Amino acid sequence: MDPAVLKRMEVFQGDITRMAVDAIVNAANPSLLGGGGVDGAIHRAAGPGLLAECRTLGGCPTGEARITGGYALTARHVIHTVGPVYSGKPSDALQLAACYENSLQLAAENHIRTIAFPAISCGVYGYPISEACPIAVDTVGRMLAEHPAIKKAAFVLFSNQALGVYRRYLENPD
Ligand code: ADP
């Protein structure tokens, strides 16, 4: 991967709802009507306006993305994407890559310069972090190379273990 693109990716440990970026990405479910995990945390932090806007969207299929306002969040926008439920089939990787790609496509269309991603599908949806990380980093790297207006993409990990997996991969990506 181009070192200049690699430098535009960062990793953090903590709560994505507190990130001071133009957009945070939500690992949503297909209803877009809220759930647990990072989705619940984002809706709690954004306030009821977010759910009201999500109700107007009519859901989101797996692999696609939708954009809303950020309401009470520091981030001006939330990009909601629906990751695959891990099944062990080759389609998992394609759908997970589509989440990162479609989120960044929406970001580019909406003049977003800084964006933060959680580990999509790696919670309730059961995707192993060691398999998801290279898909996330490689797809984001490819999209950043195509979209120079997106200056920074952050991966925000909740656990120490996930942080370690991302740090190691970013030091030595394929
Ligand atoms: P999914 O249903 O796509 O698996 P989850 O919300 O269950 O989504 O989990 C996705 C990842 O987000 C998990 O690795 C989980 O530990 C992490 N996570 C949960 N809450 C937060 C938060 N506030 N900030 C960042 N990451 C979070």
Give pLDDT tens digits for 52-70.
Answer: 999 999 999 999 999 999 9
* Mean pLDDT estimate for the chain: 97
CA 116 to chain centre: 6
Binding site membership of 125 for ligand 1 (Cβ less than 6 Å)? yes
Tokens standing for residue 37? 């995990």
Q: Please work out, in degrees rounded to the nearest 5, the angle formed at the alpha carbon of residue 24 by the alpha carbons of 62 and 140.
A: 65
The matching CATH number, chosen from 3.30.420.40, 3.40.50.2300, 3.40.220.10, 1.10.3720.10, for 3-171 is 3.40.220.10
Binding site membership of 119 for ligand 1 (Cβ less than 6 Å)? yes
Ligand 1: residue of 29, 79, 158, 166 to mutate (most ligand atoms within 8 A of CB) is: 158
Q: What is the spatial distance between Cα 35 and Cα 42, in angstroms, rounded to a whole number?
A: 10
pTM, 2 dp: 0.98
User: Which of the four pLDDT bands, split at 50, 70 and 90, describes residue 34?
Assistant: confident
Partnered with residue 81 across adjacent β-strands are: 27, 65
Q: Whose CA is nearest to atom 27 of ligand 1?
A: 38
pLDDT score, position 41: 98
* Cα 5 to ligand 1 centroid, rounded to whole Å: 25
pLDDT in tens, 106-134: 999 999 999 999 999 999 999 999 999 99
pLDDT score, position 174: 73
* Cα 172 to ligand 1 centroid, rounded to whole Å: 24
pLDDT in tens, 82-101: 999 999 999 999 999 999 99
Q: What is the spatial distance between Cα 82 and Cα 102, in angstroms, rounded to a whole number?
A: 10
User: Which of the four pLDDT bands, split at 50, 70 and 90, describes residue 164?
Assistant: very high
pLDDT score, position 173: 85
Tokens standing for residue 34? 């809220």
User: Which of the four pLDDT bands, split at 50, 70 and 90, describes residue 43?
Assistant: very high
Q: What is the spatial distance between Cα 166 and Cα 169, in angstroms, rounded to a whole number?
A: 5
pLDDT score, position 4: 95
